[in-house]
Structure 1
Amino acid sequence: MAKLVLQTDFGLVDGAVAAMYGVAFQVNPDLGIYNLTHEIPPYDIFAASYRLYQTVKYWPAGTVFVSVVDPGVGSDRRSIVAETNDGHYIITPDNGTLTHIATYIGLKGIRQIDEVKNALPGSQESHTFHGRDIYAYNGAKLASSQISFNDLGENLPIAEIVKLPLGEVTQQPGQVSGTIDILDIRFGSLWTNISLHAFHELNIHTGDRVLVSIYHHDHLRYQNQMPFTRTFAAVRVGEPLVYVNSLINIGVAINQDSFSDVYRIGTGINWHITFAKAPAAPVIIEE
C-alpha cells in the first residue's frame, strides 16, 4: 500500500487537519498517513511549492502527496493530480503549487479532477473545504488503489498548469547571482537558488572568504565577507557563514542565530543575492 502525505497552511489550532485524517481513514482505516507540514504561511503558494520540492523525491515511488494552500478555494481554479517523473502523485489546486516540481523534477502527466463526480459523498453543498472533500478523499482512494491516476479526470496538458515566476541564476566574471527562495524556517538561514555547481565556478573552496551582497529591489541591504564552511561549528557563535544546504544549494547563516531576523532579510524573487570570492588580505612585511 502506498503512503499518503499531507501538507497545508491550516496549522493545528483547530480540527481541519484532523478532519482530513478522518476522511482518509474512512476510505481505508489501514492507510499510513504522514505530515509534510501544516505550517506553510497562510496563502503562501510559493512556500508550498518549495516544500514539496524539498521533500517529495525522498519518499518511495507511489507515495501520494496532498498539498492544500488554496486561497482560491471554491472559485474556478482547477483541482488537479500530477504524476511526477519519479513516480510520485500530487493532488493540489492548480495555482502554482507544482512550480518547483515541474521545473526541477518534471511531470509525466496531469489529470483535472472533477470536483462534483469525485467529491466526498454528502459534501457537494460545501465549497470551502476542498482539502477534506476533494483532496484528502481522493488522495486516500489513490493511495489505497481504490482508483487509478487515470480515473481521477480528463487529461490536462502539462504546459497548461499554472506556474509561479522563479528567480534566475546569472553568472558574470568573478560572481554568481540568484535569489533567496526561502528560509530554513526555524533557524532563519537563507536558502538561495544558486547550486553548488554554479558556486564552484567562482573557484571558491572550503575556508575561502566570500563577499556576500544582498539586495531588495536593487537596493543594497547587506554586504559582508564571511567564510565558506562545511559546518556551522566552523565559525564562532554569532558569526556568519556560507554553506551548502541539504538541497545542495548555497545558503547563508549565522551560527546559532537567525540571519533573517538579525538583518531583516526576506525571501522571494525581489530578494537578490550575489557571491564573489573575497580578495586576499594584503601581506604586511615588517622590516
Structure 2
Amino acid sequence: MITLTTDFGLKGPYVGEMKVAMLRVNPDARIVDVTHAVTRHSIIEGSFVMEQVVKYSPPGTVHVGVIDPGVGTERRAVIIEGDQWLVVPDNGLATLPLKHVNPRRAWAIDFERIRRFTGWRISSTFHGRDVFGPAGALIERGVSPEEFAEEIPLDSLIRLDVEPKKEGEAWLLKVIYIDDFGNVILNLENYGRPKAVELQDFGLSIPYLDAYGYVKPGELLALPGSHDYLEIAVNQGSAAEMLGLKVGDKVRVKLL
C-alpha cells in the first residue's frame, strides 16, 4: 500500500499525473489518497498529517509526502526505511512520522538512476510526478532503493523544531495543525490530565474535558483530541478564529 500526502490541491492535473506515473512503473500499486489539501508549503502541517496515517498503517506501508517549497534546489529527495517507508523531500517533512517507523536506513535518490526506471525527463518543478511518486511505487514493487539511490546517515536528515519548551511552570508550544473545524492542535503529548488549561497569551483559563459537548456552544475548552496532542477547541465553533491563531504560531500554556 502507498499513501499520498501533498499540497497540490485538486484543481489541475497534478494529482492525476503523479498517480499515473506511479502506476506506469508499478501497475499493481495500491494507492491511498490521504489528502492533497495540506496548506501550501506548510511542512509542519504535512508532517502532522503523515504522522497520523503512519500510526494506523500496517508494516511495510510506503508513505509518499510532497510538501516541497524547495523543489528544484539542492535539497535531497530521501527514502527512509523502517517498519514502514517514508519517501519525502529532506526538508523536515519526515520529522513527526519518524517517531513511529523505527527508522533503520536512509537513502538520497539519484535522479539519473531513477530516470532509467521511468524513462522520461525529470522536471525541475514537479518531483512529485517524476521522483517521489515513482520511487514509492518502485519500493512497493519490491525494487531495492540501492537500485536508484545512495545510502546516507540517518542523523543527516533535516528535522523540524517541534519539541515543546518548558518555561518555569508553563509551556511554550507551537500550533502544528488546525483542522477544518478550527480545532487548534499543539505540540504537547504525554502531559497527564489537567483540570484546566491557562492560555497565558490571552488571559484565559479554560476547562480540560473529554468531549466538545461538555461546554455550551461557542465556549472554549481543551481536550485530548483524537491524535494524542493537546487540543484547543470551541463547541460548534472555531478556536482558531476566536483566538486568531494559525499553524506555526507560538502559544504559552499552563496546565492547572
TM over 0.5: yes
Q: How has the CA–CA distance of structure 1 residues 34 and 26 changed in structure 2, closer, same or farther, with 3 Å as cutoff?
A: same
Aligned residue for 2:180, secondary structure, equals: coil
Separation in structure 1 between the aligned mates of residue 47 and residue 177 of structure 2, nearest angstrom? 14
Unaligned runs of 5+ in 2: none
Unaligned runs of 5+ in 1: 215-219, 278-287
Q: TM-score, normalised by structure 1?
A: 0.82
Separation in structure 1 between the aligned mates of residue 7 and residue 100 of structure 2, nearest angstrom? 23
Separation in structure 2 between the aligned mates of residue 105 and residue 59 of structure 1, nearest angstrom? 10
AA paired with 2:138?
A: K
The higher radius of gyration belongs to 1
Q: Among 198, 201, 206, which residue is 1:212 paired with?
A: 198
1:112 aligns with 2:104: no
Write the deviation string for residues 182-236 of structure 1: whole angstroms up to 9, x where unpaired: 23410111111222x3244xxx3xxx4x24225xxxxx3x122222111111111
Aligned to 1:217: none
Aligned to 1:158: 154
Aligned residue for 2:104, secondary structure, equals: strand
Residues matched between the structures, number: 255
Write the deviation string for residues 236-256 of structure 1: whole angstroms up to 9, x where unpaired: 111111100222222111001
Aligned to 1:188: 182
Give the structure with the larger strand fraction. Answer: 1
How many angstroms does 1:139 deviate by? 0.9
Aligned to 1:92: 88
Q: Among 13, 16, 19, which residue is 1:15 paired with?
A: 13
Alignment of 1:1-287 (within 5 A): 3-84=1-82, 87-103=83-99, 106-119=102-115, 121-124=118-121, 126-145=123-142, 147-170=143-166, 172=168, 175-195=169-189, 197-200=190-193, 204=194, 208=195, 210-214=196-200, 220=201, 222-268=202-248, 270-277=249-256
Q: Which moved more, 1:120-129 or 1:64-73?
A: 120-129
Separation in structure 2 between the aligned mates of residue 211 and residue 89 of structure 1, nearest angstrom? 37
Contact kept? 1:101, 1:107, Cα under 8 Å: no
Q: How has the CA–CA distance of structure 1 residues 107 and 253 changed in structure 2, closer, same or farther, with 3 Å as cutoff?
A: same
Q: How has the CA–CA distance of structure 1 residues 133 and 125 changed in structure 2, closer, same or farther, with 3 Å as cutoff?
A: closer
